[in-house]
Structure 1
Amino acid sequence: MKYENLLSDSQSGIATITINRPSKLNALNSETIKELHNAFKAADAASDVKVIIITGTGEKAFVAGADISEFADFSVAEGGQLAAQGQAMLFDFVANLSTPVIAAVNGFALGGGLELAMAAHFRIASDNAKMGLPEVSLGVIPGYGGTQRLPQLVGKGRAMEMIMTAGMIDANQALQYGLVNHVVAPEELIEFTQGIANKIMRNSSVAIASAIAAINAGYEDGENGFDTEITEFGKCFGTADFHEGTTAFLDKRKPKFPGQ
């Protein structure tokens, strides 16, 4: 599929989706959000894709925010619809994908950019990255899940401070906060992220999908994460991957998971 604002590539089980709007510091407009939905959907459906990496073109920005010119004159109803549609189409969609999604955060991840990175299953940052949710400086609040995911990742107090001050933190502070898992040099970011993706791919993709569902359930209102874990644990016993994994362990060999 051809995209206007993205580059999409798949090699050796890893799909890399790159937001490609360098003149706009990869800012998210409505068309880019639609394209990202389609790219993630296609990668998740591809049987040969085991891990998805999301990143931005260049070293300046992962995503520098949303394209403010698109919604500066919106009404109350239009603003609410913008957030609802965006969350459903992209941010919640990514968070609940059964294929692992890693955000390789290169440079600025602000506003909707940080919200996209937080929707990924975890994050790796280049040491020049800067992150923040500056929406209150524009008279609005984060609308793509930022007020919910940031406290889950860094704690309520730190999230309150970051959102209220509209300030940025650097990569090392993000690492200290637990917002990112690793910090590496910009030139090492993609290779390092691919290295972690390769470690993930050694394991059962079916079990990983169940683990994602169980972990996410613990953060959803009305869901009991322990109950979901029990259900997903039980489902694993009916999979070919479970049979292969346990048989390989008993045979003292490396498993060759069929992904079923």
Structure 2
Amino acid sequence: MCDIVLAAASARFCHPEITLGAMPGAGGTQRLARVVGKHVALDLLLTGRALSADEALSAGLVSRVVPDEELEAAAMSVARLVASYSSPVACRIKAAVNAAQVGLDAGLAMERALFHACFSEHDFREGLAAFTEKRKPRFEHR
């Protein structure tokens, strides 16, 4: 349910509910299948098997794997980087990617509308100016 997922190299990912005579609740079956696909999801859900961090990366369950001792620093670095960009644009990107989950046509229409909205914002003009002037942009989040 996270936007960007970093995993420590020693992390393990599983849904062990079947070993307890239960099944995942709170959307676990739905979210997992959408992320890793039907076959991997059923393998994990029907066996209770755990994925290593590297397997989770290969399956698309995590964004990247970092050494255990670097996890917090890496997460903070990603957070600072994302926060340094235009927040209205970041929100639009998230909305467009989330819309892609409902179907390609609807997602493309949503993405197009959100993309065109960028052209009227200060941060877009600042980003273009910074690019042409070969400098780092100074986003004002508007």
Same fold (TM over 0.5): yes
Structure with a larger share of its residues in helix: 2
Code of the residue aligned with 1:191 in structure 2: it is A
Are the counterparts in 2 of residues 210 and 232 from structure 1 also a CA contact under 8 Å? yes
**Take 2:103 and 2:88, find their aligned partners in 1: how far apart are those partners?**
25
- Residue 218 of structure 1 aligns to a residue whose secondary structure is helix
Are the counterparts in 2 of residues 132 and 169 from structure 1 also a CA contact under 8 Å? yes
> What's the counterpart of residue 84 of structure 2?
202
Structure with higher RCO (Cα < 8 A, 6+ apart) = 2
**Take 2:67 and 2:135, find their aligned partners in 1: how far apart are those partners?**
36
Are the counterparts in 2 of residues 128 and 186 from structure 1 also a CA contact under 8 Å? yes
TM-score by length of 1: 0.51
* Change in 2 beyond 3 A, CA 1:183/1:222: closer
Structure with a larger share of its residues in strand: 1
* Change in 2 beyond 3 A, CA 1:134/1:223: farther
RMSD value over aligned CA atoms? 1.9
Is 1:169 equivalent to 2:51 in the alignment? yes
Code of the residue aligned with 1:161 in structure 2: it is D
**Take 1:137 and 1:232, find their aligned partners in 2: how far apart are those partners?**
44
**Take 1:127 and 1:170, find their aligned partners in 2: how far apart are those partners?**
8
**Take 1:175 and 1:221, find their aligned partners in 2: how far apart are those partners?**
24
Are the counterparts in 2 of residues 125 and 180 from structure 1 also a CA contact under 8 Å? yes
> What's the counterpart of residue 31 of structure 2?
149
Is 1:140 equivalent to 2:140 in the alignment? no
For residue 120 of structure 1, report the CA deviation from its aligned partner.
Answer: 0.4
- Residue 101 of structure 2 aligns to a residue whose secondary structure is coil
> What's the counterpart of residue 5 of structure 2?
123
> What's the counterpart of residue 66 of structure 2?
184
For residue 222 of structure 1, report the CA deviation from its aligned partner.
Answer: 9.9
For residue 174 of structure 1, report the CA deviation from its aligned partner.
Answer: 1.1
TM-score by length of 2: 0.89
Indicate the percent of aligned positions where both proteins have the same amino acid.
37
Segments of 5+ residues of structure 2 without an aligned counterpart are: none
